[in-house]
Amino acid sequence: MMLAALVAAAPVAVESIRAEQGGIWRGQLPAGSHDAQLDGKPVRITPDGRYIIGFGRDAAPAATLTWQDARGTALSAAITVAPRPWQVQSLPTLPVLPVPDAEFAARRPAELAQIAAARADISDITGWQGRFIAPARGPISGVYGSQRILSGTPSAPHAGLDFAAPAGSDVVAPAAGIVRLASGPFTLEGNLVMIDHGFGLVSACLHLSRIDVKPGDVVVQGQRIGLVGATGRATGPHLHWAVSWTDVRIDPAQLLELKP
């Protein structure tokens, strides 16, 4: 009996959620729910129970959301994460890749630290709750999750959505938020704007030719934040839009399909 008292009761399963790899899930628990966690990772929750969680390209097929209700009862939801067929292209010959030069090696650590700091600064604003719009106008020229295998060696999967928008066309905020980073050119990202939409959801817009905002600016959905360019590592003008939920890269195309 004494031993049993020391073991916390398993959370009572009250809900099931169907998500998919690269996807985002917005849900609502009863008001007063608190201490939510996705597989042990803290999940923010509004006083009226709203939350957002995301799943990476290679997310495992099952996950668990746990929380406590207003009376402190431990509850859980089983999450099924459906696999998605990613575009994988095998190329027999290894193209000649530029060897990272000394300047890149010297600059990169500070750039990565700046980007990580921008992601770490998370607000309670509600941009994540609404409908999202595309940050540029143009055909999709690169999808999230696609990967090339070069002579048997897999390269890093494409972690964003590419818009083949003309150089100098507008890049707009896909949802309301606070600008956390507006600087460049970074070696790979070029001129980069990162927008915090709240609750861990962050947009990054890469390769801009011009930046029209500064860190700390509050932007509304559709507000111009810069212009399409080809700065950083880009073969031509396009907008690369990447979205992360905490440290998980999600598929921006899934965000565009979310209903409010």
- Please give the residue ranges that form the binding site for Zn ion (CB under 5 A): 142, 160, 162, 240
Query: DSSP alpha helices (H): ranges in the chain?
Result: 2-6, 102-120, 252-257
Alpha carbon 256 to its chain's center: 13
In sequence order, what are the residues at sequence separation of 6 or more whose Cβ sits closer than 8 angstroms to the Cβ of residue 257? none
Q: Which is nearer to Zn ion, 180 or 249 (CB)?
A: 249
Instruction: Produce one character per residue of 18-39: b if its CB has 16 or more CB atoms within 10 Å, e if not.
Output: ebbbbbbbbbebeeebeebbbe
The distance of closest approach from Cβ of residue 37 to Zn ion in the complex, given in angstroms and rounded to an integer, is 32
Distance CA 55, CA 147 (A): 18
The distance of closest approach from Cβ of residue 234 to Zn ion in the complex, given in angstroms and rounded to an integer, is 8
The distance of closest approach from Cβ of residue 25 to Zn ion in the complex, given in angstroms and rounded to an integer, is 24
The distance of closest approach from Cβ of residue 143 to Zn ion in the complex, given in angstroms and rounded to an integer, is 9
Please tell me the number of Cα atoms within 13 Å of 233 on its side-chain side.
7
Distance CA 223, CA 175 (A): 9
The distance of closest approach from Cβ of residue 128 to Zn ion in the complex, given in angstroms and rounded to an integer, is 22
The distance of closest approach from Cβ of residue 158 to Zn ion in the complex, given in angstroms and rounded to an integer, is 6
Nearest residue to Zn ion by CB is: 240
> What one-character DSSP code corresponds to residue 90?
E
Q: Which is nearer to Zn ion, 135 or 160 (CB)?
A: 160
Distance CA 238, CA 198 (A): 26
Q: Which is nearer to Zn ion, 180 or 240 (CB)?
A: 240
